[in-house]
Amino acid sequence: MVSRVIPVDTFDLVIFGGTGDLARRKILPGLFRRFAAGQMPEAAQVIGAARSDMDVTEYRSMIRDALKEFSDKAEQGDDVIDGFLEHIDYAQVDAQGDDGWDALREKLRDGVVRAFYFSVAPFLFGDIAERLKTRGLSDDQSRIVVEKPFGRDLETARSLNRTLATFFDEGQIYRIDHYLGKETVQNLMAVRFGNILFEPLWNSQFIDHVQITVAETVGVGGRGSYYDKSGAMRDMVQNHLMQLLCLIAMEPPARFEPDAVRDEKLKVIRALEPVAPNEVVRGQYEGAEGENYVDHAEDPRSTTESFVAMKVQVANWRWQGTPFYLRTGKKLRSRVSEIVVRFREPPHSIFGKDAGGRANELAIRLQPDEGMDLRVTIKEPGPGGMRLVDVPLDMTFAEALGPDAEEVPDAYERLIMDVIRGNQTLFMRGDEVEAAWAWTDPIIANWEEAKVRPAKYDSGTSGPEASLELLHRDGRRWRDIRT
């Protein structure tokens, strides 16, 4: 397996789909942040590739507009943008044809890391991989970056893995999940494995349950026809929520190295119990006229879910008896991604049951305001006896680290640099993706066989009633979705 860390002297990065939405909204603004922070190697070259007929001047102009619209660093001014654009080139290439490949190869330099970002529809992945190899654009130092969705079930994921493996080693394939690029997610590992405080408590003896919430306020909007074939289970649970679950539940890896971490994540996925039909809730939002989910779906009778909540059990010694509750949905009350680790109550209260106080809670926020918040119980100030209150030990990174600390990098910015450095720790391995599909496929198959219709929920709420009920019947409740 090729997996090595090499110095980032310079690189050639080709973005297939360089004119597309993801490239303009995330990938290029991520690279621009690196540049604005003075961290882009001087000779780095970024080549947008797509079928559109345009020259480099027109492409740079397109990227300038994109940065102005989507980059939080654009206010640094035109000079900075101009400097960045000098690194940008364009190649007209048809992923499925013969045109443009030789010209693209001519632009690539020898002795430089080559990374090829597949920011195109998944049906083109195989065509591009094949042409990179057969037309001599890639070498054994090259990396490819593959966007989600990685298949739509186990069979298609396997087939895609096989296709990519024909042309590239696993150590050259970077399956991106931008949730893993978030600073907080990495901090989760730092908190768990860099402190003595948490790990001894990190098991079912001391943790009552875990909640993972990824709530969006937006609906499917213009992505309706794509989303309708996918749904929240495939679009969010199989990848993002599963990855977060793995990081919370995994055993400590021996080293912070790609395969050591990914081996442990894989063990978690393989330990997941099948989910019983009554432990998963599907929902679909309703809104004002024209704002119902089905108004944007191809089929007005669509039964695709825009919301999923589920109770998940990790069947191993560490987690026996500690459920993980997952939920994700669109058109919810607020935009929040967080993990809540709810500890058990102290076995006995010496202050009496009326003194107040609750179980400790560690909340790890991915958005907004990346940070962590640990709720601890203290004495309420004042002379009125021993009354207890919960207070947050808040660690919003921006506040805790102060204005001089290095800015929290954007997820894409970090992940692209990891590709260049050759560090696969935050990327999914092929077997992980397949194991995740192997677990989600039966849930989806059951919905299809039983023709389970999603429960309707009003836009702007916390989702269907049944999702609240999922926890209520265990004597628990979701943490409020709030910003």
Interface residue list for ligand NAP (CB under 6 A): 16-23, 50-52, 93-96, 119-122, 124, 147-149
Report whether 35 contacts 139 (CB < 8 A).
no
Nearer to ligand NAP, 51 or 229 (CB): 51
Angle, in degrees to the nearest 10, between helices 411-421 and 28-36: 80
- Does the annotation flag 17 for ligand binding? yes
Nearer to ligand NAP, 3 or 52 (CB): 52
Q: Which residues pair with 311 in a beta bridge?
A: 325
Is the peptide bond preceding residue 274 cis, with omega within 30 degrees of 0?
Answer: no
- Does the annotation flag 24 for ligand binding? yes
CB of 217 to ligand NAP, least distance (A): 16
Nearer to ligand NAP, 120 or 362 (CB): 120
Nearer to ligand NAP, 51 or 421 (CB): 51
Tokens, residue 103 = 């010209």
Write the DSSP string, 395-449.
EEHHHHH-TTSPPPPPHHHHHHHHHHHT--TTSB-HHHHHHHHHHHHHHHHHHHH
Residues 6 or more apart whose CB falls under 8 angstroms from that of 246 comprise 264, 265, 268, 269
Report whether 421 contacts 4 (CB < 8 A).
no
Nearer to ligand NAP, 148 or 262 (CB): 148
Nearer to ligand NAP, 124 or 466 (CB): 124
472 annotated active-site: no
- Does the annotation flag 263 for ligand binding? no
Q: What is the rounded CA–CA span in Å between residue 297 and residue 224?
A: 5
Q: What is the rounded CA–CA span in Å between residue 477 and residue 211?
A: 10
CB of 144 to ligand NAP, least distance (A): 13
Q: What is the rounded CA–CA span in Å between residue 359 and residue 375?
A: 8
Q: Which residues pair with 340 in a beta bridge?
A: 211, 363
CB of 292 to ligand NAP, least distance (A): 23
CB of 159 to ligand NAP, least distance (A): 16
- Does the annotation flag 182 for ligand binding? yes
Dihedral angle of Cα 17, 23, 25, 27, to the nearest 10 degrees: 160
Q: What is the rounded CA–CA span in Å between residue 443 and residue 276?
A: 8
Question: Per the residue annotation, which of 209, 240, 348, 472 is the catalytic one?
Answer: 240
Compute and round to an integer the Cα radius of gyration of the chain.
24
* Beta carbons within 10 angstroms of residue 119's beta carbon: 23
CB of 431 to ligand NAP, least distance (A): 21
- Does the annotation flag 87 for ligand binding? no
Nearer to ligand NAP, 164 or 272 (CB): 164
- Does the annotation flag 330 for ligand binding? yes
> From edge to edge, which strands make up the β-sheet containing 361-367?
388-396, 371-379, 361-367, 336-343, 207-215, 324-329, 307-312, 280-286, 455-458
CB of 358 to ligand NAP, least distance (A): 38
- Does the annotation flag 148 for ligand binding? yes
Instruction: Give the residue ranges of DSSP H helices in 299-371.
Output: none
C-alpha dist (Å) from residue 144 to 63, 95, 410, 461 = 22, 14, 20, 40
Query: If we measure between CA atoms, which residue out of 91, 263, 261, 270 comes closest to residue 193?
Result: 261
Nearer to ligand NAP, 96 or 134 (CB): 96
Q: What is the rounded CA–CA span in Å between residue 361 and residue 376?
A: 7
Q: How many CA atoms does the CB half-sphere of 428 hold within 13 Å?
A: 31
Cβ burial of 198 (10 Å; 0-12, 13-18, 19+) is middle
CB of 15 to ligand NAP, least distance (A): 8
Q: Which residue reads 């969006």 in tokens?
A: 216
Residues noted as catalytic? 240
Residue stretches of the annotated binding site for substrate: 178, 182, 216, 235, 330
Mark the binding-site residues for NADP(+), compressed into ranges. Answer: 17-24, 51, 148
Which residues are annotated as part of the binding site? 17-24, 51, 148, 178, 182, 216, 235, 330
